Structure 1
């Protein structure tokens, strides 16, 4: 996938996620009751002050700045790696993950926490609440692994330099 196409994936994906987060903040009650969406998915507004599953939650200024700095550096490093990736499938997968990481970074910088609104549940068990950016990151990581192992587009070929 060409660099311009990957840039469009990142910008459009991040914009869609940020728009949905704004909609959720405007239309849902924070930490309120779930609104059924699908049999296993509800809408419920929560805020994550940490990283995945609220790990490393930072509720003070210094911790938030540190979390922003680390996630910003990791997102930038991932973007640089994707740009250097010679394989279209792997680059496209990383672009999807970068879209999610960038959107979560912007949301955290603007709002102090990442906005989550999709409540996964199986009966009364609610393992986690997430957002579209989290889906991008997960799907991008899985597609990246498949592109590197399957021998399909994006897989390394004999003679490719490993960097």
Structure 2
């Protein structure tokens, strides 16, 4: 189950990023307004979530890439061993997101972000589908940890 989710999520994430960067050529074209509060724009993120830990050097880029590979292996092993469906789905989503952003970091040297949520003067950070997978997976892990009884996990 974890492999299926990871592959589907990775393919979906990369397909959208390929469209944004190479087909629509967002760097050369105007942003796309999908809704009054949602735009598709191009932002290159050299850091991690929320733009933290920005890395401008090759060392930083590869350090984050290696960390992503190691984290992905850990998540894969954890997910492959679990019998709990919620945990497996959560880990599969996190793995899909980590792989999607990891591919970007290796190929482009930075992560392709493109979804901009904003309301009035409030502007949320720019993110991508891989980030959504990671957040939803993390919520699943938190829910599993705090709200699912051990007797329900088997």
Q: Same fold (TM over 0.5)?
A: yes
Please, which of 103, 106, 110 is the counterpart of residue 106 of structure 1? Answer: 103
- On the 8 A contact 1:34/1:43 being kept in 2, the answer is yes
Could you say what secondary structure the match of 1:115 adopts?
strand
Deviation at 1:141, TM superposition (A): 0.8
Instruction: Name 2:10's counterpart in structure 1.
Output: 14
Offset from partner CA, 1:117-163 (integer Å, 9 cap, x none): 10011113222100000000001110222133332xxx5339x8xxx
Deviation at 1:49, TM superposition (A): 0.5
Q: State the TM-score, normalized to the length of structure 2.
A: 0.89
Could you say what secondary structure the match of 1:56 adopts?
coil
**Long gaps (5+) in structure 1:** none
Instruction: Name 1:64's counterpart in structure 2.
Output: 61
Root mean square deviation, CA, Å: 2.1
Could you say what secondary structure the match of 2:75 adopts?
helix
Instruction: Name 1:95's counterpart in structure 2.
Output: 92
- On the 8 A contact 1:90/1:144 being kept in 2, the answer is yes
Deviation at 1:31, TM superposition (A): 8.8
Instruction: Name 1:139's counterpart in structure 2.
Output: 136
Instruction: Name 1:123's counterpart in structure 2.
Output: 120
Please, which of 18, 21, 26 is the counterpart of residue 25 of structure 1? Answer: 21
Could you say what secondary structure the match of 1:126 adopts?
strand
Instruction: Name 1:74's counterpart in structure 2.
Output: 71
d(CA) in 2 for partners of 1:93, 1:22: 25
Once superposed, which parts of structure 1, at least 4 consecutive aligned residues long, lie more than 4 Å away? none
Deviation at 1:28, TM superposition (A): 4.3
- On the 8 A contact 1:14/1:100 being kept in 2, the answer is yes
